[in-house]
Structure formats: structure tokens, C-alpha cells
Structure 1
Amino acid sequence: MGAPHPTPAAARPKLRATALSRSFGRGRTAVDALGPLDLSIAPGEFLCVVGPSGCGKSTLLRIAAGLLRPSGGELEIRAGSPRPAAMIFQDYGIHEWKTVLANVRFGLDIRRLPRREADRRAREWLRRLGLAECADAYPATLSGGMRQRVAIARALAVEPEILLMDEPFAALDAQLRTILQDELLELTQTLRTTTLFITHSLEEAIVLGDRVVVMSARPGRIIAERRSPFPRPRTGDIRSAPEFAALERELWRLLRDEVRGPAVAR
């Protein structure tokens, strides 16, 4: 399968959560949604988080993105820029009234990159995601898979230090989901962007991740983690390996009781 990349485990963490927690509401009606939990992600590591619905996976991601404040503890990102993270949502999060090119260029426009350079970089990412011929189209004319490629291109065009992905392929059919998993695998192995990836799919987590973290039912805490037995670079062909099936079964055993539990989705 090729020689592995240098393990990221020994590097100083790019992201570190310490006793992190989040509650919603006040007083006796308060709902403990997350934690406390401790978590670290090394530079260049692709970390996948799995857990039952309502366990706080998306809450964790939104705290990392700066969209929510923690109720307790802290989350620290070691970054060299004021906007180190880019986020990709399940519902694409692209603007229907903008062309594909304008959507991909959006983050670069916010950062006031000169228009010529922003267009060049946006078109390059459209080319890499197979969307070059769609630059002047509007999102309504695109399939779900193409819309998600636009969202990925927009996130990567700003060259983020950390990529935050909240179940980005959950709304796609199984065949398209597999194709986009393989495309993302190839991209992230080339870029080595530090990635925090939320998913319900154990298969997806094993294909993409250097490490898989399993969360409990709400309030979400880390109950286990497993490091991938597959060295990088790798391809989606690992899905047929006996080790893949064994790891998927092990993760499901860890997760099964949490999924059956009385967690209420939030």
C-alpha cells in the first residue's frame, strides 16, 4: 500500500480540547450536550469522530469553528493565521444566487485577495474538483455531488490550516458517497491538511481517518479511539481488506450500546 507518511502523533497538537463542555439552556432546564472531554489533533492528521445522534459531535465542530462558545474548559488551535479553519456542512452551505466561480472565490473575497489572484485560485480548485466547465453555472443546475464538490473547493481555496467537515456526504446516495470519499482521500493525502471529520458512517471513518474517536451518548464523551492499521498513501481498495471489516466490527461493538441508549438528538 506504499510507505506511510511520518506519524503525526508525536507532533505538537494543532488542535487541543481540554475539559471541554457545552450546555444549552439555564437552570433546571439546562441540557448537557457535550463533555467534558479531552482531545488533540496533530498537524496533518485526519481525525474522524463517530457517535450516536445527539452526542455533541456537531457541537464540538462548531466550537472548533468559533461558531459556539464552550460552557467549560477550552479549545485551543495552534495557528499561524487569524482565520485558520474552513468548514464544510452537510447541506453544502453555498449561495444559490452566486455562480459556482463566485462561490468558490467567496472566502478569498472576504480576505480581500486581489480579484485576478482570487479568480486564478478559484478556477484551479474547480479544475482539481472536476468542475472547470461549471464555473459560470448556478448551484440550482448542479447535482448534489457537484454542489458538495463546490463546497469542498471553496473551503480548500482559502488554504485552511484546519478543515472542519460536518457529515458532508450524508445526504448523497451510496454510490456517489463512495466516489466523493475516494476523491477526498486523494486530496487530503496530497495536501496533508489537518482535518476534523464528523460522520455516522463507520466505513467512511475507516476509509478516511488516521484515527477514529468514538463518542458516548449525550453528553458526548470520548469512550474509545482506534488508529488506522492502513498506512498512507492508501486508496478505497482497503474496503475489501479483512482488517477493514474487523475494525468496523470492533467500532460497532463499542458504539452499539451508545446508539441503543436514551440519548435525545439535538
Structure 2
Amino acid sequence: MISVAVKRKSFGAQTVLQDVNFDIATDERVSIVGPSGVGKSTLLRLIAELDRDYEGQISTVKNSAVVFQEPTLLNWRDVMDNLRITTRKDDRTLENILAEVGLSDKSDMFPSQLSLGQQRRVSLARALAVNPELLILDEPFASLDDEMVDEMLALTKQVVDTRNMALLLVTHTKKEAAFLTDRQLMLGGNPATIIQ
């Protein structure tokens, strides 16, 4: 499904990633684990085709969706409008997805009226609306308290299991990686590479 062969990714004279090679099979759940600042999110952006300035080759699925660490919602639009604008899906489909992430009663609320956990659920709903083959999560549980992390982990696992999607999780927390994924890749070094 996905083949990653990044020979080099640099920002100016600084090489951030070098010789990063791995594959992800259909329906496989893989996490990339490493300390903050090592280059995990940079690698994710390459895989999601949000950054094409690198040496190497990445082949991926046509239909993937990314949930970023920050919810990036339009504060002047309610939840339903946030989903409509970005996904162009009909209201019935969006209502079903909001129910899937436990927000069926929040469709007319604005982001500022939601907790951070609820905003993260809206971001997840937005990603699910495109019915992705691959769901990419970039530190999706950062800044949440332990109880909310556990709740979001359970929800995410349920959604991925129900939809039978491939998953790529970027995290610095081994607990999250172990709960959601079958295989963990460690990113480390300077420049960073897969070290296990």
C-alpha cells in the first residue's frame, strides 16, 4: 500500500531525515515513535504529500486523510459548517459521522464552545468524511489530560476497527503506539532515520 524511501529531507543546509525506509501494508497499523523535534511530523507531511521537497520516493494511496495536532477549525463557523466547507459532503452523511465520533448534539456549536477533546473529535470527523483508506494521525492526543487521552484512544481504535482502515500514527508516547498500532518504528538520530 505505502512504500517510503526518503533518501534525504533538508531545510536549507540542515538535513533532518536521511535514509528513512519502510513499507505499510493494506489495513496495517503502524506508529512512528520518537522524541519531540526529531522529524516525525516532517516525515508525516512527506507521506501525506503536503511537502514534496525531498530526495527519494514515496508511493501512497490516493485516498488518505490527516488529523493534525491542532484542530485547525474555522472559529466563525459552527461544527456542521466546518465539515461542509472542507469535505463538501451532504448533511445526512456529516450527521452520521458526527454521531460516529460522539458529537451528534454539537453540530450547531462553534469551536470556542467546545472542549479541546471535542475539537479533536471534529477534526477526526472531518478526516473520516472522505472515507480514507489510510488515516494519518499527527500527535492527535497532545495537550489532553489522561482521562481524555484514554477516551480518545478508545474512540480512535473503535473507528479504525469498524472502518478497517490502515493507520499511521506519529507520537512520542509509547502507550498510544502500543494501544493503536501493531508495529512501532523508532525515529531517532541526527539526521533522523529509522533505528528499529
TM-score by length of 1: 0.71
Per the alignment, residue 154 of structure 1 pairs with 126
Per the alignment, residue 215 of structure 1 pairs with 187
Query: Residue type of the partner of 2:81?
Result: A
Query: Residue type of the partner of 1:98?
Result: R
Per the alignment, residue 168 of structure 1 pairs with 140
Pick the aligned partner of 1:139 from 78, 91, 111.
111
Contact (CA 8 Å) 1:105, 1:157: kept in 2 or not? no
Q: Equivalents in 2 of 1:209, 1:101: separation in Å?
A: 30
Per the alignment, residue 31 of structure 2 pairs with 48
Runs of 4+ in structure 1 off by over 2 angstroms are 104-108
Pick the aligned partner of 1:64 from 30, 42, 47.
47
Q: Equivalent residues in 2 for 1:188-227 (5 A)?
A: 188-224=160-196
Per the alignment, residue 258 of structure 1 pairs with none
User: Residue 99 of structure 2: SS of its match in structure 1?
Assistant: helix
Q: Equivalent residues in 2 for 1:108-147 (5 A)?
A: 108-109=87-88, 113=89, 118-147=90-119
CA drift of 1:95 comes to 1.4
Query: Residue type of the partner of 2:115?
Result: S
Q: Equivalents in 1 of 2:174, 2:38: separation in Å?
A: 16
Aligned-CA RMSD value: 1.3
Q: Equivalents in 2 of 1:163, 1:97: separation in Å?
A: 27
Contact (CA 8 Å) 2:17, 2:192: kept in 1 or not? yes
Pair member with larger Rg: 1
Per the alignment, residue 32 of structure 1 pairs with 15
Query: Residue type of the partner of 1:72?
Result: E
Listed as ranges, the gaps of 5+ residues in structure 2 are none
Higher strand share: 2
CA drift of 1:37 comes to 1.1
Q: Equivalents in 2 of 1:123, 1:20: separation in Å?
A: 43
CA drift of 1:220 comes to 1.5
Higher helix share: 1
Contact (CA 8 Å) 1:21, 1:70: kept in 2 or not? no
Q: Equivalents in 2 of 1:192, 1:185: separation in Å?
A: 10
Q: Equivalent residues in 2 for 1:215-254 (5 A)?
A: 215-224=187-196
Listed as ranges, the gaps of 5+ residues in structure 1 are 1-13, 225-266
Pick the aligned partner of 2:65 from 82, 86, 102.
86
Query: Residue type of the partner of 1:46?
Result: R
